[in-house]
Structure 1
Amino acid sequence: MVRLYTEDLNIGYGDRSIVKDLSVVIPDRQVTAIIGSNGCGKSTLLKAVTRIIPHQSGAIMLDGMSIAKENTKLLAKKMAILPQTPESASGLTVGELVSYGRYPYQKGMGRLTPKDIEVIDWALEATGTIAFKHRSVDALSGGQRQRVWIAMALAQETEIIFLDEPTTYLDMAHQLEVLELLKKLNTEQGRTIVMVLHDLNQAARFADYIIALKDGEIVKAGTNEEVIRRDVLKQVFNIDAEIGRDPRTDKPMCITYNLIKGESVEHEKGHSAADLGATRTERMQQQQQQSAG
């Protein structure tokens, strides 16, 4: 059974269209990575699917119901999101921050129940942060803080977790630490993980399913073998990539790449000088739009 999917989804800000007629299925109990250049609509898609921002038209369906009609607390029991830049947790202890994940289950005065405390401790244990429970969030390293935010998402006890660039600002070791944790949550607990990633090789290594976006539209969606390909990356990122195999996982990986120069590519196709000028103008407009996004 398909739990989460979109149909002809359109998202924008004012007159500016970001995501266009997008129909996609999110595989249940798998790790899905969304890739694409800056400004292509990755984060916008995540925000719309989790109802942080409204969509203009189309549908986002979860368990056979439009999320637009779902009760907020019921929806928060089904999906959790870790945004790209989490809100400040200054002054809070780790335990206090993670306790916010229990909000959908609280009633009346909002006091924590024995069940809430049990789930909070479990989330801290699962993310390896139980030793920090009474420590200030401000005193933690970047990797530790990211794991604590993931613990808060786990405390919601949702089956679907969305993460917007969870490895941003982390060094290589902490990036690997976070991604291995997410993969473990998927394989051992059956959590559906959906995350935006910039690193193609991280997406290929940790994701079961990859969605490649360009200008708010899907270029390719499928397994890492189907998406991490020279022709797909050329279309999505305008790069000429050399694809090899990861010696440790045997999954495809981008070994190196060159930026494709628009002029030379068009010249090889025999386009006129006027066409080349139009191409340069379009590219400059795209870059301006991406910078604005």
Structure 2
Amino acid sequence: MTRFFTENVHIGYGDSLIVKDVSLKIPDRQITTIIGANGCGKSTLLKAMTRIIPQQSGSIILDGESISREGTKKLAKKLAILPQTPESISGLTVSELVSYGRYPHQSGLGRLTKRDWDVIDQALEMTGTKDFKYRTVDSLSGGQRQRVWIAMALAQETEMIFLDEPTTYLDLAHQLEILELLQRLNAEEGRTIVMVLHDLNQAARFADYLIAMKDGQIVKTGTGEQVISPNVLREVFEIDAIIGKDPITEKPICLTYSLIKGDKNHEKIYATNRTATSSYS
């Protein structure tokens, strides 16, 4: 049985409908990535799937129950969310921030137990942030802060972690660091990871399952080979893309692309790149 799925979900703000009639299943213990152009509804869908915002109609089901009817603490024991631009209180230490992940497991008194501190230390260890334990979060670099936020999500001890563009504002090395950490959590801990990414090559490299969206609807779902294809990218992003194979990971890789509309060199670029593709196939 699929643990998490949506059925005919519509999501909007006021009179504006952003996500339209979306039905999908999130594979258990895999990495799922949602891709699509800016404004297509990726983040809106992620927020609804984590109950940050309500859907207007349809169902979002986790373990056979609608998440809209779950108690807050009960739901927080099942899924964690890392928003696109998390903000911490100035002066908060790393250990204090990560301890917030223990909220769903605390009693009415709200005191941290030895078990809580053991989980916090383990989360810091797993994310390579234990050396920062007593430093303030706002004194860390962007990549370090992002790892600390992931540590907080880990301290929540959920089987599912949702992340909205976790590599935003990070340089290439720190992007890779974060994505490899998530991949390790999936492989070693069996965590189900659901995230929104902009970079197509990162999505193809790290995701087991991809969801491509356009104008609030699902265009294509499947493996990297099924979704990172010229036809799908033409429909979703309005680009002509040349897709090859990464010589190290053997995953699809977008070698180059051109705009379908408004690019006067489109035909020349496309023909040249199509010829070049043969050496990667």
Q: TM-score, normalised by structure 1?
A: 0.89
* Contact 2:127 2:151 (C-alpha < 8 Å) held by counterparts: yes
TM superposition shift of 1:263: 9.8
State the one-letter code of the partner of 1:89.
Answer: I
State the one-letter code of the partner of 2:70.
Answer: E
TM superposition shift of 1:146: 0.2
State the one-letter code of the partner of 2:18.
Answer: I
Aligned position for 1:82: 82
The secondary structure found in structure 2 opposite 1:198 is: coil
The secondary structure found in structure 2 opposite 1:107 is: coil
Aligned position for 1:268: none
The secondary structure found in structure 1 opposite 2:248 is: coil
Aligned position for 1:57: 57
Aligned position for 2:193: 193
State the one-letter code of the partner of 2:134.
Answer: H
| RMSD across aligned positions (CA) | 1.0
The secondary structure found in structure 2 opposite 1:12 is: strand
Percent identity of paired positions between Structure 1 and Structure 2 = 74
Q: Which runs of 5+ in 2 are unaligned?
A: 265-281
Q: Distance in 1 between matches of 2:263 and 2:136?
A: 54
Aligned position for 2:231: 231
The secondary structure found in structure 1 opposite 2:185 is: helix
Aligned position for 1:69: 69
The secondary structure found in structure 2 opposite 1:178 is: helix
User: Counterparts of 1:80-159 in structure 2 under 5 Å?
Assistant: 80-159=80-159
* CA deviations over 1:8-59 (Å, ceiling 9, x no partner): 0000001100000000000000000000000000000010010000100000
Q: Distance in 1 between matches of 2:61 and 2:91?
A: 38
TM superposition shift of 1:107: 1.3
* Contact 2:40 2:216 (C-alpha < 8 Å) held by counterparts: yes
* CA deviations over 1:68-109 (Å, ceiling 9, x no partner): 111110000000000001023321000000000000011122
Q: Distance in 2 between matches of 1:103 and 1:65?
A: 22
State the one-letter code of the partner of 2:233.
Answer: L
Moved over 3 A (4+): none
* Contact 2:33 2:197 (C-alpha < 8 Å) held by counterparts: yes
* CA deviations over 1:122-141 (Å, ceiling 9, x no partner): 00000000010001111111
State the one-letter code of the partner of 2:124.
Answer: L
Q: Distance in 2 between matches of 1:60 and 1:229?
A: 29
The secondary structure found in structure 2 opposite 1:145 is: helix
Q: TM-score, normalised by structure 2?
A: 0.93
User: Counterparts of 1:1-293 in structure 2 under 5 Å?
Assistant: 1-261=1-261
* Contact 2:88 2:137 (C-alpha < 8 Å) held by counterparts: no
State the one-letter code of the partner of 1:52.
Answer: I
State the one-letter code of the partner of 1:183.
Answer: Q
Q: Distance in 2 between matches of 1:17 and 1:246?
A: 38
The 3 A distance-change label for structure 1 pair 126 and 263 is closer
State the one-letter code of the partner of 1:165.
Answer: E
Q: Distance in 2 between matches of 1:91 and 1:206?
A: 34
The secondary structure found in structure 1 opposite 2:8 is: strand
